[in-house]
Structure 1
Amino acid sequence: MVRFRLWVFTLNHYKGVAMVLFATVFWGVSGTAAQVLFQQDHVSPYWLVTVRMSVSGLLLLLLALSRFGIASVFSVWRNKQDVIRLILLSFFGLLGVQYTYFASIQYGNAATSTLLQYVGPIFITIYLALRNRRLPRARELAAIVFALFGIFLLVTNGNTRHFEVAPPAVVWGLLSALTVAFYTLYPQILLKRYDPAILIGWGMLLGGLGLGLGENPFRSPVHTTPQLFMLVSFVVLFGTLIAFYMYIASLNHISASVASLLACGEPLSAAVIAVTILHVRMGLPSLLGASCILITVTLLARKDRAKEPPPEFLTPL
């Protein structure tokens, strides 16, 4: 009986690991799909973000409605302060993350933009150190050094005379990392009261509708082609809805710390796909820089939680 229970536990653990890995692959492929939409179908980040947030937000709320019921889904609107927090999270957090990330891809490529976005934990570390009036710990300092060195190599490919990546892509990518830090730290009060699926659903829908005031999400800015339809559908369904639910479902089998550590596979999958399918060139210095950024996230994900519990994460996007 003991052996059987141990085998079931191990099976469930690997099931959770597989769910996170599939989610990270979907996120990575989603960025690559967006790059194709920008470069080949001439879709603007403005339009794609509007469609992605509006449609996926509505679908997430419908799934949450079937799971939790109408009272739970709309409970966030009963508290005025929570409504204000939700609106701020929607526009400055979720919308900020989405737009800056896709804008970075438009000027650069999915691999570089995803790696730059994963510098977000550095901003979180610096903020927490300032808030608690303490110096960064040794592991945190090492992570900051790895991150800065990684960004330098990734952007310059080891050549200090020119940028390997377009400066706008770097700026938007770092802004994406900053907004990741914001939407990770800000909704802590909301996460204690509402399920992440409800928060993400309302946040995505509000952000998409707000952005849609200037861009009709149901009017394609270019000629609709089978490729455009398939790629947009993948970004909305697999890159958002399915990936999100696989990540959340994995927490029933593995801890949040393990899940967040495995989520580091997103930039790795984005880089592999960009290099193999889109033929994005990454020299040895750039690959070394990417490795430094992955080491950064790993160091921060393995920080001592007993000394300072890290904030809860909604989920990588």
Structure 2
Amino acid sequence: MNKQNRLIGIFFVIFGASFWGVGGTVAQHLFQSGNIDVDWFVTTRLFIGGILLLSSQLVSSNRKHLFQIWKEPTSRNRLITFSLFGMLLVQYSYMASIALGNAAVATLLQYLAPIFIIFYFIVKGIQKLTRSDLLAISLTLLGTFLLLTNGLFNNLSVPFSAVIWGVISGLSLAFYTLYARSLLESFSSVIVVGWAMLLAGIVMNFVHPIWAIEAINWSASIYIALGFTILFGTALAFWMFIKSLEYLTAKETTLLGTVEPLTAVVSSILWLQLPFGTWQIVGGLLILVLVVYLSLQNKKK
């Protein structure tokens, strides 16, 4: 892989993850200030995000490829699996963790994904357990403990249910990252992400229909925030993240994507005045440092 392609991949993953991180903070604002239901929010951003991406493909010169992913049973089945256990699960679990806790902690918990990927590689025999992996796992456990407790064993900074959903989002992000590569070998990132979002949105409509919402008292800021999360925090963020997999490995993409928790924490503190204890900051920094370290190690290899 040449240097230019690597830089393109890094560009996509950093900007996509940044949109994702800020989008999480904006979502927290919508849950708290707009009293927006999580189920409806996930339905709306997936359904509309999918339509936007597929529409962009429809008006492009490659529109003839839009439905090819459905023609082969193998690709069709993989798309459905990816939509339900990748796109839908990572979206719902992440938003549920934000709604029950906050965007900063939810995003940092989601970035346990590199550790799950390491475990997967080791179990599958793709790589051996190295000192770097042991260091990463140890720092992650310590950082997660400090993040969630602020150094006190009998104190959780967020409800336990938020922690559970956060861990699920980490597992689903690991699956999302690994499983997407096989689809990207045959189809463009816009087609893969667009169809996955639309399918997930259709499924969520059976849980909470997109039209079942009272928007009478919404202010202009609520509409702007909702539009941002759909366009930038969903459609563009997911597309750029998946697009980066065409230039980088799954492990690199997930590791470099840790700019997401950084933007989520900073935007939560500056905009939402989220209180963050000293040991929570230390824990968050540990998680960020370890993924940067692993990314550099991976680049050397």
Pair in the same fold by TM > 0.5: yes
What is residue 155 of structure 1 aligned with on the other side? 148
Structure 1 residues not aligned, in runs of 5+: 1-9, 308-317
Contact 1:37–1:231 (8 Å) recurs in 2: yes
Select 1:233's aligned residue among 214, 227, 230: 227
CA-CA distance at 1:261 after TM superposition? 5.0
Q: State whether residues 30 and 239 of structure 1, in contact with CA within 8 Å, keep that contact through their aligned partners in structure 2.
A: yes
CA-CA distance at 1:50 after TM superposition = 0.3
Q: Which residue identity is paired with 1:35?
A: Q
1:111 CA displacement? 0.6
Task: Give the counterpart of 2:258 among 254, 264, 286.
Answer: 264
Task: Please tell me whether residue 210 in structure 1 is matched to residue 203 in structure 2.
Answer: yes
Quote the offset at 1:248 in angstroms: 6.9
Q: What does residue range 164-313 of structure 1 map to in structure 2 within 5 Å?
A: 164-221=157-214, 223-225=216-218, 226-244=220-238, 261-304=255-298
AA matched with 1:236: I
- 1:7 match: none
Q: Deviations over 1:135-186 (max 9, x none)?
A: 4111111111111111100000001122122111111000000101111122
Separation in structure 2 between the aligned mates of residue 250 and residue 186 of structure 1, nearest angstrom: 14
Q: Identify which range, 127-136 or 208-217, moves more after superposition.
A: 127-136
Change over 3 Å in CA distance of 1:14–1:199 after alignment to 2: closer
What is the one-letter code of the residue matched to 1:192?
E
Instruction: Say yes or no: does 1:122 pair with 2:119.
Output: no
User: Residue 110 of structure 1 is aligned with which of 87, 103, 110?
Assistant: 103
The TM-score with structure 1 as length reference comes to: 0.84
> Could you say if the C-alpha distance between residues 141 and 12 of structure 1 is closer, same or farther in structure 2, counting changes exceeding 3 Å?
closer
Q: Is the 8 A contact 2:146 2:283 kept in 1?
A: yes
3-state DSSP of counterpart to 2:18 = helix
Which shifted more, 53-62 or 250-259?
250-259
Measured at CA, do residues 258 and 75 of structure 1 come closer, stay the same or move farther in structure 2, by a change above 3 Å?
same
After alignment, is 176-185 or 250-259 more displaced? 250-259
What residue identity is the alignment partner of 1:128?
F
Would the alpha carbon gap of residues 78 and 266 (structure 1) be closer, same or farther in structure 2, given more than 3 Å must change? same
Residues 13-43 of structure 1 deviation map (CA, whole Å, 9 limit, x = unaligned): 9898666544433222210111011112111
TM-score of the aligned structures, taking structure 2 as reference length: 0.88
CA distance in 1, matches of 2:17, 2:182: 26
Give, in whole Å, the separation in 1 of the partners of 2:170 and 2:6.
30
Q: Is the 8 A contact 1:27 1:243 kept in 2?
A: yes
Contact 1:119–1:297 (CA<8 Å) still a contact in 2?
no
Deviation at 1:96, TM superposition (A): 0.1
RMSD: 3.0
Does the CA contact (< 8 Å) of 1:116 and 1:151 recur in 2? yes
What fraction of aligned residue pairs are identical, expressed as a percent?
Answer: 38
2:21 maps to 1:38: no
- Return the alpha-carbon distance in structure 2 between the equivalents of residues 191 and 16 of structure 1: 14
Matches of 1:132 and 1:14 in 2, distance apart? 29
- Does the 8 Å contact 1:143/1:295 carry over to 2? no
Whole-Å separation in 2 of the counterparts to 1:187 and 1:16? 15
User: CA–CA distance in 1 between the matches of 2:112 and 2:177?
Assistant: 13
Asked if the contact 1:264/1:297 (under 8 Å) is kept, the reply is: yes
Query: Counterparts of 1:257 and 1:286 in 2: how far apart (Å)?
Result: 26
Taking the aligned partners of 2:181 and 2:298, their CA distance within structure 1 comes to 20
Q: How many equivalent pairs are there? A: 299
Q: CA deviation at 1:82?
A: 1.2
Long gaps (5+) in structure 2: none
Residue 67 of structure 1: CA displacement?
A: 3.2
